[in-house]
Amino acid sequence: MIINKVKEILIAKFGDEVIIAEELNQKQPALIINPELIDEVCLILRDHPETWFDFLSCLTGVDYGVEQKKFGVIYHLSSIIKKHQIVLKTFKENDRDLNQLPVFKSISAVYKAAEWHEREAFDLFGIYFENHPDLRRILLPDDWEGYPLRKDYQTAENYHNIKIDF
State the Cα–Cα distance between residues 120 and 139, nearest whole angstrom: 7
The CA distances from residue 36 to 49, 60, 98, 117, 153, in Å, are: 24, 17, 22, 19, 27
CB atoms < 10 A from the CB of 5, how many? Answer: 14
Mean pLDDT for 100-117 is 98
Rounded Cα distance between 23 and 46, Å, is 21
The string of pLDDT tens digits covering residues 79-88 is 999 999 999 9
pTM over 0.85: yes
Percentage of the chain exceeding pLDDT 90: 90
- Residue 90 near residue 32 (C-beta atoms within 8 A): yes
Q: What fold, for 2-152?
A: Beta Polymerase; domain 2 (3.30.460)
